[in-house]
Structure 1
Amino acid sequence: MNKQIWTLTCLFCLAGVSSLAERLPNIVIIYADDVGYGDIGCYGATAVDTPAIDQLAVNGIRFTSAYATASTCTPSRYSLLTGRYAFRNKNAVILPGNAPLIIDITQSTLPSVLREQGYSTGLVGKWHIGLGNPTEPLDWNELIAPGPKEVGFDYSYHMAATGDRVPSVFIENGRIVGLDSSDPVTVNYLEAVGDDPTGISHPEMLKTQADEQHAKTIVDGTSRIGWMSGGEDARWTDEEMPDVFLNKAIEFVEENKEEPFFLFYAMHENHVPRIPHPRFRGSSSLGVRGDAVVQMDWSIGRLMETLKENGLSENTIVIFSSDNGPVLYDGYYDGARELNGDHKPAGPWRGGKYSVWEGGTRMPFILSWPGTVEPGLSDALISQVDLLASLAALTGAELPQEEALDSQNLSDALFGKSEDGRDYLIQQGVKMEAIRKGPWKYIPEGDVTNRGSIGKFYTNTITPPGALFYLPEDPGEANDVARIYPAKVQELRALLDAEVGDNTARQSDREELGGAVRN
């Protein structure tokens, strides 16, 4: 018996599981974008239907205290893949579409660890962790590297950053899909390139009007952040993007079904621009924001059907979560805030994307492994940063002591054998970190950044000694009890400072909404 199977056998014998698959389980992480705790039916949503995700919860464990490490996308993705909090890397902030790779290719990552254990590893969907070498100009028309391959993915089909950032092309295994060499791509975030119309110069061409930041080069009737020229044949169609990614995810599963595989299915829904396929228009009462969630759920359902059709359901771990909390207006005037009604996208929690309030980082999180993991509900405190150490342990991998610094092996909690999760975790917002330990949440003095309902960023100022909340009785973080429990404040502040340092120094050292820009 090889080492991996022996390790898995021992693990589940100790856990009291009587059955064991003949090989290491497949692993699929479905990572939504800007989808909040309250956007999913099994977490309380009524204005949008999510039957496929709800069925995952019926078949698996639904977690109520699971967190992304940050309330914005690049930091969360960095943490999930590396097992490190993003604040440890000064470049792990929201990146422009032409930023260099921010992961050190010599360090262990989730895909590289699983690949060493014999897994075929695949990325489909959103990347947004940078591409290329920081010391060299990036030529989009040649092999684009380093990128997903260099951090452990055997196969990749992805966008460079987000749908609202250029370049608006798909990249497969390091090369732009459908690129005509006589029409080279140029990307710039500092100054205009080419003569393509922009949202400012030609607003009549737009499907949806946008703010000034999102009003640069128009691609497929939508203006983006940044300027792009060339690559006309390679540019994507927004409405078709979900089907393109879904089909690539299905292809990866079917092509690798004979051996263990790891698929990171990083969906774009419901990040802006929200332009769902016409067949999903009107499928919710929330306008295009809700329609995008319905579209996402349908795609997940199709992927689950693929697993079933190929006899893989019972030997595949499926994890569903999101990269950060929800946002209504985020640069495009698409009606999301006007049509939101009584829907609570963050559920009972305060805040959303960009903030350290609970709604910014407390995520829907479901783990399904039919026949092995008993369905149920768990309030164990877990973080996405723990997936690396936990899945490494599951598959028998050994992580060097200096790798995955912040990742903890929470296999027992993840697979429903214990309610004991983390002792505490760090929550990162824009220019601000907070800490949760048990039922307590502490936010140090400083400015908590929020995206307002009218689109402007605003701050809630926390004064000394910081704010303390008892979450079981105060999910809305409305009642600051810091002055009532000074000892608890002192305890949590000491833990926070030990992890991330002095808050005042941190605030002056970090850009608010973007990282370094290169031409």
Structure 2
Amino acid sequence: MTRLSRQIITAAITTLPLMAAAPSVAQVSQPNIIYLLVDNWGWGDIGLQGSIVPTPEIDALAAQGMRFLNFNIENQCTPTRSAIHTGRLPIRSGTQKVAAPGEPDGLAPWEYTIAELLSDAGYKTALFGKWHIGSQVGRHPSDQGYDEWWGINEGSNAAAYTSTAEFDPAVAATPHFWQGKKGAPSYETELYDIAGKTTFDRKITDRAVDYIQRNADAEDPFFLYVGFTQFHPPWVVHPEFDGVSGAGYYSDIKYEVDHNIGRILETLETANAAENTIVILTGDNGPGTLPQGLGYATGEVGGSTGPWRGALSTGYEGGLRTPGMIRWPGEIQPGVVTNEIISVLDIYPTLATLVGASDRIPTDRPIDGIDQSAFLLGNQETSNRQHIVTFVGDDVFAVKWRDLKVHFLVAEATFSEIKRLTFPQVYNVKEDPAEQFELWGNEGFSHAWVMTPVTKILTDLTQSMADFPNIQPGQDFSGYE
């Protein structure tokens, strides 16, 4: 076992205790909110979690608030973005996977997003960067609660389409940047290609900085969603950071990501808005692995999952845990590190509660997110969540309950085959973060009992989906009777 592995396991076992004195009740009822989302980000890609490339700006942010060692997202870009915006399992919304070009996609306009909720609660709203939960006009950010937006409507990889020798614009749409404002159709702007992606995250950051400066002193609070495209392929880096690490493009990108996040945080400080702003920073899924190798990502090149097994589009922890942190000065205690289970689904109800708008959470549909506000504010020492159900596409791959993980289907890497197991596989992810020692078989069925809580979780979910049938991808859904 390496020293890093021992450190990570120790950190995962021993959560820093909360101080006895709970933070005060929020002095400002409606703080600004900034959500920073990094694309294809490995758990081990920040300095505090083992990166050999320094990330001082991100590390400083983590130290100023609460850092989650057990922050769980969905298995791909689209599902995670859907979960953030709706608080609902993506399969309920028809957004359980990244749609291939030409396939139906996007949130149904009926979905009530966090941007719509906050807008109705008096917030100004903006999105800059990657959307990826609705490529068609009518399903863009400005149709789902954002006052203004600029970025791309589909996956980051679209930048590379026109660089392929076989690309034919007569049969496939040429990718462009888009922008729009609430109340009007969004429209295409400049070409989105390799050159465009090279400077994309810099332009996202520029727009975020400008937005903060314009709105820091405004009467109404703001919700700013920043969807970075790093570290998603095509792997390009802004010229300012090309070669800066001396270790290749992926390490160069780490410098770029850290710098851009630092600029946004610095702008909050200079605009005297930091004290009244909730800042959330997470990834959308773990790093991908290349099809030539069926192992799992373990090093700096291509993303580090730290001690965790698996990658993007697998049911293992390396694809489902990303860096996660939240800062709210004066309300969320700084320097807290926790191994309590948190889901990206929880963002929706937690933010609604923190800003006093929980009464706006819909009651006519299942909301799978759980309000974690009491935990974040230090009013309780444990998370309100004990399990995570992991879908990959239409299938339940795994259920994590407390420290035990039960796998039903497995894929070792992003592009590998899917295997159906004769018996479920069980791992203790606290004691065995690499999910290497299988308990069900190796310990003579002694862990079969864990199927009791897991079966109840899946039975309840199946009944819920029978009562509220899942929306199909691209469906024009208008509500439950």
TM-score by length of 2: 0.80
Q: Is the 8 A contact 1:108 1:404 kept in 2?
A: no
Match of 2:350 in 1: 390
Q: Are 1:385 and 1:407, in contact at CA under 8 Å, matched by a contact in 2?
A: yes
Cα deviation, residue 485, structure 1? 1.1
TM-superposition CA deviations, 1:297-352 (whole Å, max 9, x none): 10000000110010001111101000001124389x9xxx9995689711111001
Contact 2:158 2:175 in 1 (8 A): no
Corresponding position of 2:337: 377
Rounded to whole Å, the distance in 1 between the matches of 2:297 and 2:139 is 42
Q: How is 1:352-501 mapped onto 2 (pairs within 5 angstroms)?
A: 352-375=311-334, 376-397=336-357, 398=359, 399-403=361-365, 405-421=367-383, 422-430=385-393, 431-444=395-408, 446-448=409-411, 450-451=413-414, 457-459=415-417, 461-482=419-440, 483-500=445-462
Residue 228 of structure 1, aligned match among 149, 154, 174? 174
Does structure 2 conserve the Cα–Cα contact (< 8 Å) formed by 1:198 and 1:217? no
Q: How does 1:126-205 map to 2 (within 5 A)?
A: 126-132=130-136, 144-165=137-158, 199-201=164-166
Cα deviation per residue 1:189-248 (whole Å; 9 max; x = unaligned)? xxxxxxxx75235xxxxxxxxxxxxxx369xxxxxx955289998214222111111111
Instruction: Provide Cα deviations, 1:464-513, integer angstroms capped at 9, x if missing partner.
Output: 32111111211111111122211113431342343258xxxxxxx9x9xx
Give the Cα–Cα distance (whole angstroms) in 2 for the partners of residues 76 and 309 of structure 1. Answer: 32
Compute the displacement of 1:49 (Å).
Answer: 1.7
CA 1:473–1:295 in 2, change beyond 3 Å: closer, same or farther? same
Q: Could you tell me how far apart the structure 1 residues matched to 2:277 and 2:91 are?
A: 32
Residue by residue, what CA displacement relative to the aligned partner does 1:35-91 show, whole Å, maximum 9, x if unpaired?
Answer: 010111111211x221111000111111111110x2111011111101100122344
Shift of 1:429: 2.6
Structure 1 residue runs without a partner (length 5+):
1-14, 133-143, 169-196, 202-215, 219-224, 452-456, 502-508
The alignment of Structure 1 onto Structure 2 pairs a total of residues equal to 423
Aligned counterpart in structure 2 of residue 82 of structure 1, from 79, 86, 90: 86
Secondary structure class of the residue paired with 1:402? coil
Q: Does the CA-based 8 Å contact 1:434-1:496 persist in structure 2?
A: no
- Aligned AA (1:310): A
- The residue type equivalent to 2:48 in the other structure is C
1:51 aligns with 2:56: yes
* 3-state SS of paired residue (2:157): coil
SS of residue in 2 equivalent to 1:472: coil
The structure 1 residue matched to 2:304, chosen from 345, 366, 370, is: 345
SS in 1 for 2:388: strand
Once residues 476 and 338 of structure 1 are traced to their aligned partners in structure 2, the CA distance between those partners, rounded to angstroms, is 11
Unpaired runs of at least 5, structure 2: 1-20, 178-187, 464-469, 475-481
Q: In structure 1, how many angstroms separate the alpha carbons of the residues matched to 2:47 and 2:175?
A: 42
CA contact (8 A) 2:298 2:306 kept: no
Give the drift of 1:25: 0.7
Q: Structure 1 residue 417: deviation in Å? A: 3.5
Distance 1:74 1:394 in 2: 26
State the shift of 1:92 in Å: 3.3
Question: Taking structure 1 as reference, are residues 341 and 260 closer, same or farther at Cα in structure 2, changes over 3 Å only?
Answer: closer
Deviation of 1:443 (Å): 1.1
RMSD: 3.3
Counterpart among 113, 127, 133 of residue 109 in structure 1: 113
**1:246 match:** 205
- Corresponding residue SS for 2:70: strand
After superposition, the Cα gap between the structure-2 partners of 1:75 and 1:339, relative to the gap in structure 1 and judged at 3 Å, is: closer
Residues in 2 aligned to 1:230 and 1:16: alpha-carbon distance in whole angstroms:
48
Matches of 1:419 and 1:462 in 2, distance apart? 38
1:42 matched to 2:48: yes
| 1:284 CA drift (Å) | 2.9
Q: Do the aligned partners of 2:40 and 2:285 also contact (CA within 8 Å) in 1?
A: yes
Single out whichever of 369-378 and 414-423 deviates more from structure 2: 414-423
2:31 paired with 1:25 = yes
3-state SS of the aligned residue for 1:28?
A: strand
| 8 Å CA contact retained: 2:88, 2:366 | yes
Q: 1:373 to 1:119 in 2, by over 3 A?
A: same
Equivalent position of 2:7 in the other structure: none
CA–CA distance in structure 1, aligned partners of residues 318 and 256 of structure 2: 23
Task: Report Cα offsets for 1:405-440 as digits up to 9, x if no partner.
Answer: 101111122334433210212122344431111111
2:427 maps to amino acid? F
Provide, for residues 230-277 of structure 1, a one-character-per-residue CA deviation record: whole Å limited to 9, x for no partner.
Answer: 999821422211111111111221222212111111110100011111
Name the CA distance, whole Å, in 2 between partners of 1:267 and 1:339: 23
When normalised by structure 1's length, the TM-score is 0.74
Measured after TM superposition, the shift of residue 404 of structure 1 is 5.5
CA distance in 2, matches of 1:276, 1:341: 16
- Aligned residues: percent identity? 28
Is 1:95 the counterpart of 2:131 in the alignment? no
Alignment of 1:314-329 (within 5 A): 314-329=275-290
SS in 2 for 1:413: helix
In structure 1, how many angstroms separate the alpha carbons of the residues matched to 2:340 and 2:70?
6
**Which residue is 2:14 aligned to?**
none
